[in-house]
Structure 1
Amino acid sequence: MAQRANLQPQSVDAPLTQFATFLVLSVHDHPDALRTARATVAGIADLAKNITIRDLEARFTCTVGIGSDIWDRLTRLPRPAELRPFPTVQGSVHTAIQTPGDLFFHIRSERRDLCFEFERQLMDQLGDAVAVQDETVGFRYFDMRDLLGFVDGTANPVGPAVPDAVLVSQADTSGVGGSYVVVQKYLHDLTAWKALSTEQQEAIIGRTKADNVELADAEKGQQSHKTLATIEDESGEEHEILRDNMPFGSPGAGEFGTYFIGYTAQLWVIERMLQRMFVGDPPGLHDRILDFSRPITGSTFFTPSASMLASLEDD
């Protein structure tokens, strides 16, 4: 923990806010584009400060993630031990797909206008050095619920457990103080979901809908989403991740979804969770939430410590 303290982390554990923008960009393969992208991410703290100062109570933050394919060209820093592209996970029915992305910006605030203004200034700086792969605007829905009607993020670590769950330890010296982040954009079939009874929905999720009480795990056979998303190692120790999922959508366009974002100190934890969800445990019994929620993106990034990010300017 001492080495972590010397490397100020980015705000991966910032409080949950009312609004967020999730921005995935690709950097054009040209020296000028790389220089522009490097200078922009190195100076992200100054850009964020320009927005934060407008309303200190709005809890504005921006976290920057860097993808595997561009890491060596953009940073010239040692590669974090587990950094690799998002793995395509092919189940018998559903597939977790991989989509492009070199840079990821997780922009959060209690005010939508601050997220908008930061993104505007960010894109002005990046200019034609980048191409937008995905831009999703999320919002908090009632009492932390997703658009399926269930409370989301219940399994998040709290208090002193957060740093151990999300910040890379000294065992991964090239990534210490940083965090791996996996993002997926899911679209919901709400018509089919609403055709289920509340009891059927609760069995799929593994919690009660009204009061968010955890249901017992099935002794064998089909497991709930809650069970399949709980990851234990060979010794039986549970490994937590920090989710900052948000609903998004447009009723007029008939689009309803959840943007999954998971921060973790160990990338294998989320990768194993995806295997359990899409392949099933036992294999063949996939997470039934996937029958109603379809992933249309999938990317992995690493968020270096704030000090390492700022050091890129020296390059």
Structure 2
Amino acid sequence: MSVEVMNPDVAQDVWKDIGQHVDFVVLQLKRTNLAQEQAAIQEFADRSQAIIRSMNIRAEDAGLKVAIGFSNAAWDYLFPTAPKPKELETFTTIAGDEAEYTMPATAGDIFLHIRAANEAVVYEVVTQFMRFLKDVTTVLDETKGFRYFEGRAIIGFIDGTEAPAIADAAEYAIIGVEDPEYINGSYAFAQKWIHDMNFWQAMKTEEQEKAVGREKFTDLELADDDK
């Protein structure tokens, strides 16, 4: 008997390129009618795949990538009798020494991560998805992203230098034989960083470099004593 192994080529694609345009949408189930919401989610799960296939035909060069996730609480509510992914859990707040360094836990049941080379494609996919989700969910958050100059973050530094290469990242990002029920799936951990851009832009480049730990123009890492 053969054992299926993790295959990056068919796995949920949440771990490769960031895309040119992206939309992150967090939805909360209304929890007013379980049967109705289960039926809506079942239809969405089916129709979403057809929407993705159609869009890949309509805009074949857009490189559309879609990931759909359910929270631990949503899983318990929608799929109470289904086996749960082994590491799916509810995030709890991590408190820092100061309030500004605290990572708060926020609500959310369904997470949509949609990216493509064309913003129109991202917009159309979200719009079509919401036709099947709007009656049973409330939008808690929607965050749009775009690729900044030279792949830099909005603070002006190259982003992702220390991220592992694609070939190495798959091992950490994709579920393998340790949870065969959900092999080739993944987990989403959504974070939103708030930057005080007025404060940041008022800093001298040398101060910014010490905070980030890299030279702003060349992206070379600074010596530990200079960080």
Tell me if both proteins adopt one fold, taking TM over 0.5 as the criterion.
Answer: yes
Q: Which runs of 5+ in 1 are unaligned?
A: 225-315
Paired AA for residue 78 in structure 1 = P
Tell me the distance in 2 between the aligned counterparts of 1:148 and 1:140.
13
Superposition RMSD in Å: 2.2
Q: Which of 65, 84, 89 in structure 1 is aligned with 2:69?
A: 65
Q: Which runs of 5+ in 2 are unaligned?
A: none
Map Cα deviations across residues 230-271 of structure 1 (whole Å, 9 max, x no partner): xxxxxxxxxxxxxxxxxxxxxxxxxxxxxxxxxxxxxxxxxx
Paired AA for residue 190 in structure 1 = M
Q: Which of 135, 149, 152 in structure 1 is aligned with 2:142?
A: 135
Look up the match of 1:106.
113
Map Cα deviations across residues 277-299 of structure 1 (whole Å, 9 max, x no partner): xxxxxxxxxxxxxxxxxxxxxxx
Question: What is the DSSP-based 3-state SS (H/G/I as helix, E as strand, rest coil) of the residue aligned with 1:137?
Answer: strand
Conserved 8 A contact 2:22-2:116? yes
Paired AA for residue 24 in structure 1 = V
Tell me the distance in 1 between the aligned counterparts of 2:121 and 2:203.
39
Query: Are residue 150 (structure 1) and residue 152 (structure 2) matched?
Result: no
Query: Are residue 35 (structure 1) and residue 39 (structure 2) matched?
Result: yes
Q: TM-score, normalised by structure 2?
A: 0.88
Paired AA for residue 167 in structure 1 = I
Residue 6 of structure 1 deviates from its aligned partner by: 11
Conserved 8 A contact 1:34-1:129? no
Tell me the distance in 2 between the aligned counterparts of 1:141 and 1:195.
20
Residue 202 of structure 1 deviates from its aligned partner by: 1.1
Q: How many residues align?
A: 220
Residue 169 of structure 1 deviates from its aligned partner by: 2.1
Map Cα deviations across residues 58-102 of structure 1 (whole Å, 9 max, x no partner): 101211111110113324432222211122111111211111111
Query: More strand per residue: 1 or 2?
Result: 1
Conserved 8 A contact 2:67-2:112? yes
Bigger shift: 173-182 or 203-212? 173-182
Query: Are residue 79 (structure 1) and residue 81 (structure 2) matched?
Result: no
Residue 206 of structure 1 deviates from its aligned partner by: 1.2
Map Cα deviations across residues 16-48 of structure 1 (whole Å, 9 max, x no partner): 321011111011212202320232134422111
Query: Are residue 208 (structure 1) and residue 210 (structure 2) matched?
Result: no
Identity %: 32
Tell me the distance in 1 between the aligned counterparts of 2:95 and 2:210.
24
Conserved 8 A contact 2:29-2:109? yes
Paired AA for residue 22 in structure 1 = F
Look up the match of 2:97.
92
1:196–1:7 CA distance, 2 compared to 1 (3 A): closer
Look up the match of 2:19.
17
Residue 159 of structure 1 deviates from its aligned partner by: 3.8
Q: TM-score, normalised by structure 1?
A: 0.65
Question: What is the DSSP-based 3-state SS (H/G/I as helix, E as strand, rest coil) of the residue aligned with 2:219?
Answer: coil
Conserved 8 A contact 1:26-1:103? yes
Map Cα deviations across residues 209-246 of structure 1 (whole Å, 9 max, x no partner): 11111123359xxxx6xxxxxxxxxxxxxxxxxxxxxx
Conserved 8 A contact 1:63-1:106? yes
